[in-house]
Amino acid sequence: MVKGDRVYDAMHKPGSFPELRKAVFDYASERMDLDPAPLDGPKSREELAQLAGQTITETGLGGLEALKLFGDVLAPATISIDHPNYLSFIPAAPTEASSLFDLVVSASSIYGGSWTEGAGAVYAENQVLEFLGSECGLPKGCGGVFVQGGTLGNLSALVTARDVAQKRLGRKRWAILASEESHSSLKAVAKVMDIEIVKAAAPTGSLQKPELLAALEGAERDGLEVFAIIGTAGTTNFGIVDDLEAIAQVCKANNIWFHVDGAYGLAGILSPDHRQLYAGIEHADSFIVDPHKWLFAPFDACALVYREPALARAAHTQHGEYLETLNEKDEFNPSDHAFNLTRRVRGLPLWFSMATHGVARYREAIRQNIALAHQIAEEIRVRDYLRLVRDPQLSVVVFERLGWDKSDYDHWSQELLDSGFAFVVPSSHKGRVNTRFAIVNPTTKYEDLVKILDSME
């Protein structure tokens, strides 16, 4: 047993593990040198138990042994989401600069909840948030916070929206309204907040004014008070943008909070060729976008931006005897703007990458992703055994293999993954099975997408 000061020496004293430090840095460097990284894939719990065994013990494995176990057994039992042919769900493609700086963030031990403790880091994060707000046309003074992911971002924004409405109207049977194509996180938000969610029809995939008004009238007939309408800037399933201008008009006419869920697709506004798709977002009261999706940052980060951050501060500031020394100061505390207190400065990897490369390279990478999606959609259109389910708008392409049922898709998908070539899983829409390419990686190649289509013949 290690006792007394030796516990500190063994666990916390800087420089105690020079070999381990070098090994960890070497591992990270070698991982980032892979082009591409192996796709890999999951193993069963039983396989992992046999290969890894019990890793948490009284005496420990030792750092070098634990790192070897991770590199040899545990890491290969995951799927590399940054692989160019990881095309399912919404992938990630962090820049090398952002991944490197993620190591710096961990090594720097910065608390990102208050200005007092993290001023320099919060300043950098806020520059990114202000940039995103400016790109969306929000006025000077907008701002917010980086939270874990889109679900927490949506929840925090909608808690703020209800707080504003409740101060004005008192307690009501509250509801939020969104498209039937909106993200599943909104259902979770409604459950947590104990409110109703009203779904509006979206026959074209994009929420339009007639269906929005019909849903709003239906909510009123049911005795519900809609305090927020959520527009989706790039649906997860199809990558379609709602009619944000129409939603903004309805919100303004009815004094309703306008929130935009752009977790995946809002990054598309950086492409000059596609800015027009987002007309109306400049009227939003809040929006989210996930840098770990299409802004080339590592997991996990969601940028939550408010038109008037003071409203969020009024809704979310936590009070406690030990916190009042922070609350009494007129400083920007990130934790006051979302449902969180302790927080990592998870916006810094994005800041570092954007500061390193400049915005223009981001714009071009996103534009190229969209162009590739449209290019492969044309290839799908001319193949008689495939059917394009809907024309792509951003970088998601949904299509069917004619004559296949779910088991055919499952078998094909597993073979692709087992071969190490690609990860493409079945999806569905309105009861019909299909599959999809979600393209957010600038290194994804047209030729590889064609090979995937060839594998379906």
CATH number at residue 266: 3.40.640.10
Does residue 87 lie within any of the structural domains? no
- Among the residue ranges 43-52, 143-152, 317-326, 348-357, the one predicted with the least confidence is 317-326
140 three-state secondary structure:
coil
219, 251, 257, 429 from 214: Cα distances, Å: 9, 14, 18, 23
Give the span between the Cα atoms of 103 and 121, in whole angstroms.
15
Q: Collapsing DSSP states into helix, strand and coil, what is residue 432?
A: strand
- Say yes or no: 343 and 374 in one domain: no
* pLDDT of 339 higher than 60: yes
Q: Are residues 323 and 383 in the same domain?
A: no
Kindly tell me if the per-residue pLDDT of 6 is higher than 80.
no
Q: Residue 4: is its pLDDT beyond 60?
A: no
CATH, residue 410: 3.90.1150.10
The residue written with tokens 């070497």 in the block is 26
304 - beta bridge partners? 145, 288
pLDDT at 366 over 90: yes
Cα-based distances in Å from 312 to 62, 119, 120, 245: 46, 20, 22, 24
Whether 277 is in a domain gets the answer: yes
Q: How many Cα atoms sit within 13 Å of 220 on the Cβ side?
A: 7
Helix (H) or strand (E) holding 152: helix 150-169
For residue 379, which of 437, 440, 293 has the smallest C-alpha distance?
Answer: 437
Question: Which of the listed residues 53, 76, 99 is the one where a domain comes to its end?
Answer: 76
pLDDT above 90 for 320: no
Instruction: Give the end of a domain, one of 25, 60, 76.
Output: 76
CB contact burial 197-230 (16+ within 10 A = b; e otherwise): bbbbebeebbbbeebbeebbeebeeeebbbbbbb
State the angle between helix axes of 348-357 and 359-381 in degrees (0 to 180), rounded to the nearest 10: 90
**Total structural domains within the chain:** 3
248-252 mean pLDDT = 98
Q: Which residue has the higher pLDDT, 336 or 7?
A: 336
Residue 152, pLDDT > 60, answer yes
Cβ contacts of 224 within 8 Å, gap of 6 or more: 173, 174, 175, 196, 198
Would you say residue 349 lies in a domain? yes
Report residue 331's pLDDT band, with 50, 70 and 90 as the boundaries: confident
Instruction: Compute the Cα dihedral for 280, 282, 286, 291 and give only its sign.
Output: positive
pLDDT at 208 over 80: yes
Q: What mean pLDDT is predicted for residues 390-403?
A: 97
In a domain, 270, yes or no: yes
Please tell me whether residues 60 and 119 are part of one structural domain. Answer: no
Query: Are 37 and 173 in the same domain?
Result: no
Query: What is the pLDDT confidence band of residue 2, given thresholds at 50, 70 and 90?
Result: very low
165, 225 Cβ separation under 8 angstroms = yes
Task: Provide mean pLDDT across the span 267-272.
Answer: 97
Mean pLDDT across the chain? 94
Whether 93 maps to a domain, the answer reads no
- Tell me the residue ranges of DSSP E strands in 116-224: 143-147, 174-179, 196-200
Residue 162: the pLDDT is: 98
Q: Please give the backbone phi and psi of residue 117, each rounded to the nearest 5 degrees, phi first.
A: -90, -25
Q: What percent of the chain has pLDDT over 70?
A: 96
Averaged pLDDT, 222-251: 97
144 and 199 assigned to the same domain: yes
DSSP string, 372-387: HHHHHHHHHHT-TTEE
Assigned domain for 81 exists = no
**Residues 293, 424 within the same domain:** no
Q: What is the DSSP letter of 51?
A: H
Answer for the pair 295, 267: CB distance below 8 angstroms, yes or no: yes
The pair phi, psi for residue 172, each rounded to 5°, is -140, 175
Name the band, by pLDDT with cuts 50, 70 and 90, for residue 15. Answer: confident
| Same structural domain, 288 and 140 | yes
Q: Are residues 304 and 386 part of one domain?
A: no
Q: Are residues 180 and 162 in the same domain?
A: yes
Whether the per-residue pLDDT at 267 is higher than 90: the answer is: yes
Q: For 269-283, what is the mean pLDDT?
A: 97
Last residue of a domain, one of 56, 76, 96: 76
Does position 8 have pLDDT exceeding 90, yes or no? no
Kindly tell me if the per-residue pLDDT of 324 is higher than 70: no
**327 and 428 part of one domain:** no
Q: Could you tell me the pTM of the whole model?
A: 0.94
Q: Which residue segment(s) compose the domain that 188 sits in?
A: 110-356
Element (H, E) at 301: none
The residues facing 146 across adjacent strands are 303
Banded pLDDT at 1 (limits 50, 70, 90): very low
The pLDDT score that the predictor gives to residue 299 is 93
Please compute the mean of the pLDDT values over residues 145-160 and round it to a whole number: 97
The yes-or-no verdict on residue 326 having pLDDT over 70 is no
Confidence at residue 401, expressed as pLDDT on a 0 to 100 scale: 98
The answer to the question of residue 96 being in a domain is: no
* pLDDT of the residue at 323: 66
pLDDT band at residue 430 using 50, 70 and 90 as cut-offs? confident
For residue 442, tell me if it sits in a domain: yes
pLDDT number for residue 319: 74
Pair 366, 347 in one domain: no
